[in-house]
Amino acid sequence: MVAAASVDWTWSFPGIVAPTLLVVGAAAGAGSGRRSSALVIVPVLAAMVALALPYLASEELARASASATPAVALDHVRSALRLDPWSQEATAAEARLLGRRGAFAQAAVRYADAARLSRQPWVEYFAEAGALRRSGAIAAATAACLAAQHSDPSEELLHRPPCEWPWLALHVPGARPRSPEGVTRRSSP
């Protein structure tokens, strides 16, 4: 978490300062020709917009987490998604808020979307399984558990509810029990 925050924090300085200096430099050299200035300014402005949208989306997510009203929080999250539709964090936040509203089927869809955007999809698949299980979609919950376990077979959290072995074994032919330490027991021949 600290490493990710320090990288996210430090990349913003050159990411914002460099395009700004390019625009200032292009404007200073505008006397040399409008066409060459436009060739520099247009891509720099596009880069600045591309950097600004995720930043503004993260600001909306911060407002959502600070909101005490779930409906207002959901509005902020959806605003963040309009600014950055590929944000895994905003998609997962929308899923959590939908789950809190009791819209488990919708939450499960958004968790699946977040898993496709995630570097650690097992987290969202696991959350999707919980939402599906609460909505009564047992077969889909089982599939989400299996997708989570396939994504990271060593993650011990995936052997707890909603993906614990006794429940999963009822729905997956050939599933084998796991010991409390997480080691698969061998069945005797």
Backbone angles phi, psi at 178, to 5 degrees: -115, 145
Q: Tell me the pLDDT band of 94, cut-offs 50, 70 and 90.
A: very high
Closest CA to 162 of 188, 189, 137: 137
pLDDT, tens digit (0-9, with 9 covering 90-100), for 138-169: 889 988 988 998 888 888 888 888 887 655 65
| 113 and 188, same domain (yes or no) | yes
The answer to the question of residue 177 being in a domain is yes
Helix locations, the chain, DSSP H? 2-28, 34-66, 70-83, 88-100, 104-117, 121-135, 138-151, 165-171
Is 125:111 a contact under the CB 8 Å cutoff? Answer: yes
Backbone conformation region of residue 35, classed left if phi is above 0, alpha if psi is from -120 to 50, else beta: alpha
Whether 77 maps to a domain, the answer reads no
More confidently predicted of 188 and 48: 48
Determine the structural domain holding residue 46 and report its residue range.
1-69
Together in a domain, 111 and 51: no
User: Is residue 78 situated within a structural domain?
Assistant: no
- Rounded Cα distance between 28 and 17, Å, is 16
The pLDDT, as a whole number, for residue 42 is 76
Confidence of residue 32 (pLDDT cuts 50, 70, 90): low
- pLDDT value for 27: 65
Q: What is the mean pLDDT of the chain?
A: 79
Residues 46 and 97 in one domain: no
Q: Does pLDDT of 183 surpass 70?
A: no
Mean pLDDT of 109-120: 94
Question: Does 19 fall in a domain?
Answer: yes
Same domain, 90 and 63: no
The reply to whether 53 and 93 lie within a common domain is no
Q: Give the mean model confidence (pLDDT) for residues 68-75.
A: 95
Residue 183 is given by DSSP the state P
Residue 104 and residue 54 in one domain: no
Same domain? 113 vs 185: yes
| pLDDT: which is higher, 113 or 45 | 113
CATH of the domain at 106: 1.25.40
Q: Please give the model's pTM, rounded to 2 decimal places.
A: 0.68
55 and 97 part of one domain: no
Task: Tell me the two tokens of residue 178.
Answer: 């796991």
Confidence of residue 12 (pLDDT cuts 50, 70, 90): low
- The pLDDT of residue 182 is 41
